[in-house]
């Protein structure tokens, strides 16, 4: 019995589907990661049209103030277990838009991310490496960061 459950846990870690949600420029490199040269489908990643079937929410770059409610709602629509990957400098501290008056500098304080991928925009190899780390995290049985805390729990959206 335990073996069967282990198999399903392993299956969860090896099959990550992304919610299709782009908040910023990094989605361009995400498209390149899907493309022929990098082809992230080799590792089993697949974009899905609706968040209902997704396992991973990718914050692709900056999060502007206006898109934040939609981002949180997309996260809420995903089924458990779900993970968040923050791409690019912008999702860490605002990056090149740190001085901008319309970009949220600390989106991961609101929605904590499991993995940060560095770069502006991150190269496709880095994106794949970041997602491999999510796999590792699931294999280790760690709970997702967003389920542990974050301002999103206190907000109504």
Partner 1 sequence: MESIKKLLEKFSCEYVEDYKKTWIKAKLNSKEDLLSLGEVLKTEGLRSLSTISPTDFLDADVMEVNYFFEDLDTKRNLWLKVDLPRDEESCEIESLTPLFPSAEWHEREAFSMFGVNFLHHPDLREIIKSEDFTGVYPFRKDFDWDAHEKNQVQNVQQIVDAFKKEQEENEVDLDPDSSETILNWGPTHPASGPIRLRVHCDGEEVISVDPDIGYVWRALEHLVTKKDFVGAIVAVERLCFMDNINSMTAYALAVEEIAGVEITPFAKWMRVLLGEVARVSSHFMGLGMFFNNMGLHTLAMWNMDTREFFLDFLESYSGARIATAAVEPGGVRYGLDMVMFDELQKALDKFDSSIGEVEAVFVKNPTMKMRAHNVGRLSGDEVHQFGLSGIVARASGVQTDIRIDEPYDAYSELDLEYITQERGSAQDRFMMLFAELKQSIEIIKKAKAHIEEKVASEEMNPTKDHMVKVPKKLPKGEAISRVEWARGEVLMHLVTEEKAKSPYRLKMRAPSFNHTMMLNYLLKGRTLSDIPLIFGSLYICQGDLDR
Partner 2 sequence: MSASLFHSFVFPGLLYVLLWTVGLYWFFRKFMAALHKRVGPSFNGKGGSYQTLFDLSKLLTKESITPDGVNPYLFSMMPLLAVIIAMLPSAFVPWMDGFVVVDSHYGLLALVVLIGIEPFLLFLTGFGSNNKYSFLGGIRILTQAISMETSFFLAALSPAVLFGSMNLTYIVEASSWMSFAVLLPGFALYFIALLGLLEQPPFNIPDAEQEIVYGFYTEYSGTNYFMLQLAMFAEFMAVFSGATTLFLGAYKGIFFDSYFFFFMKMLGIAVMMMTLRAATPRITLAQMLKFSWKYMVPLTLLNIAWVFLAKSLWFMGA
Under the rule (CB under 8 A), what is the footprint of partner 2? 7-8, 10-12, 14-15, 17, 35-36, 39, 41-44, 46, 49-50, 52-53, 55, 77, 79-81
Which of these ranges, 10-18, 62-70, 131-139, 140-148, lies near partner 1 under the rule CB under 8 A?
62-70
Q: Tell the smallest beta-carbon distance from residue 17 to partner 2 (Å).
A: 8
Q: Tell the smallest beta-carbon distance from residue 55 to partner 1 (Å).
A: 16
Q: Considering CB under 8 A, how many residues would be counted as binding partner 1?
A: 43
Is 156 a residue that touches partner 1 (CB under 8 A)?
Answer: yes
122 binding partner (options partner 2, partner 1, none; Cβ < 5 to 8 Å by kind): none
Which position has the token pair 């838009």? Answer: 97
Measured between alpha carbons, how far is residue 154 from residues 2, 55, 119, 150 in Å?
37, 23, 30, 8
Compute how many other C-beta atoms are within 10 angstroms of the C-beta atom of residue 93: 12
Which of these ranges, 8-16, 67-75, 78-86, 141-149, lies near partner 1 under the rule CB under 8 A?
67-75
Measured between alpha carbons, how far is residue 50 from residues 60, 63, 79, 110 in Å?
16, 20, 11, 22
In terms of DSSP H, where are the helices of 54-123? 68-77, 90-93, 107-110
Cα angle, residue 118 at apex, residues 114 and 124 outer, rounded to 5°:
95
CA 127, CA 116: separation in Å to the nearest integer? 9
By CB under 8 A, name the one of 32, 116, 126, 147 that touches partner 1. 32
157 binding partner (options partner 1, partner 2, none; Cβ < 5 to 8 Å by kind): partner 1
Instruction: Compare residues 12 and 20 and give the one whose CB is closer to partner 1.
Output: 20
Nearest to 68 by CA among 96, 30, 108: 108
């Amino acid at each position: 019995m335990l073996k069967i459950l282990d198999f399903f846990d392993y299956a969860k870690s090896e099959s990550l589907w992304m919610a299709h949600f782009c908040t910023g420029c990094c989605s361009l490199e995400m498209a390149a990661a899907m493309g022929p040269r990098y082809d992230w489908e080799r590792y089993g990643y697949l974009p899905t049209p609706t968040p209902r079937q997704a396992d991973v929410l990718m914050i692709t770059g900056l999060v502007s103030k206006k898109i934040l409610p939609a981002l949180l709602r997309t996260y809420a629509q995903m089924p458990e277990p779900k993970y968040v990957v923050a791409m690019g400098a912008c999702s860490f501290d605002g990056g090149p838009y740190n001085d901008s008056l319309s970009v949220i500098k600390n989106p991961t304080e609101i929605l904590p991310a499991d993995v940060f991928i560095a770069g502006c925009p991150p190269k496709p190899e880095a994106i794949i490496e970041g997602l491999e780390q999510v796999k590792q995290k699931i294999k280790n049985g760690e709970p997702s960061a967003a389920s542990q805390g974050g301002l999103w729990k206190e907000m109504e959206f």
